[in-house]
Amino acid sequence: MKYNIDINADLGEGFPYDEAIMPLISSCSIACGGHYGDENSIRKAIQLAKMFGVKVGAHPSFPDTKNFGRKVIKIEEEDLYESLVNQMQTFLRICYEEGEKINHIKLHGALYNLAAIDGTVAGIVIQSFLDVCPETTVYLPGNSVFFVLAKDKVSTKPEAFIDRSYTDEGFLVSRTHPGALLESPEKCLNQLIELVTSKRVTTLSGKQLPIHAETYCIHGDHPNSVSILKYLHQHLKKHSIEIE
């Protein structure tokens, strides 16, 4: 059986790997000012994606550049909604100016993880999406409250991670925990093959967990991201997997 897959990366976040990563992926999620970025960084990332024919998406976050959006912050519901709307409107405007179409939206960091388990937060996020770009596909964890609430309101694409370990409950292992990040190209290849061909993932404890995904993420801030992606390109075809 042949598999055509989408590999996405979170880019435009100030790390030095974007130019090397972009030719090796099929879609990217671009920071739009919440955890990182401004109009110049957004525009640069969109232009780079256009150069390599990579689909672009918005990557909104808690408005928290201090912690790079990786901590849950105390914020009023109205302020979170307003921040998300502003981030996405800025991204859409720059897409329009650059003649590029938005492909998807994907939350970043702590907000991604919180929306997965908190129905109130997920509801705020979904409403902001509906009010700004209701026809845009949302990348999100399939085994989540977020997915359950979103699937009948917006187009969804369940996501799994190439370079992160999973808990037995199907969530990402906290970055504070040893082994949270898969660092070797071989481990990332094996996890991706299992995700694609068997629709499961082997958790950090060794349990095999069913998981359905339609897009697969590698983090743009991963120091080994380029070598991992090059390794994937070298070996995926042997397993009848092609990046679309």
Q: Which pLDDT score, from 0 to 100, does residue 175 have? A: 87
Give the residue among 115, 133, 134 at the shortest CA–CA distance from 124.
Answer: 115
- Residues β-bridged to residue 202: 208
**b/e map of 7-18 (b: 16 or more CB within 10 Å)?**
bbbbbbbebebb
* The two structure tokens encoding residue 114: 């919180």
Distance between CA atoms of 137 and 103, rounded to whole angstroms? 7
Quick one: tokens of 211? 């998981």
Q: Which residues contact 169 (CB under 8 A, 6 or more apart)?
A: none
Which domains, and CATH codes, for the chain? 3-243 (3.20.20.370)
Say which residue the tokens 């359905």 belong to.
212
C-alpha distance from residue 183 to each of 109, 169, 193, 228, 229 (Å): 19, 22, 16, 8, 12
For the chain, 244 residues long, give each residue's pLDDT as a single digit of tens. Answer: 999 999 999 999 999 999 999 999 999 999 999 999 999 999 999 999 999 999 999 999 999 999 999 999 999 999 999 999 999 999 999 999 999 999 999 999 999 999 999 999 999 999 999 999 999 999 999 989 999 999 999 999 999 999 999 999 999 998 889 999 999 999 999 999 999 999 999 999 999 999 999 999 999 988 899 999 999 999 999 999 999 8
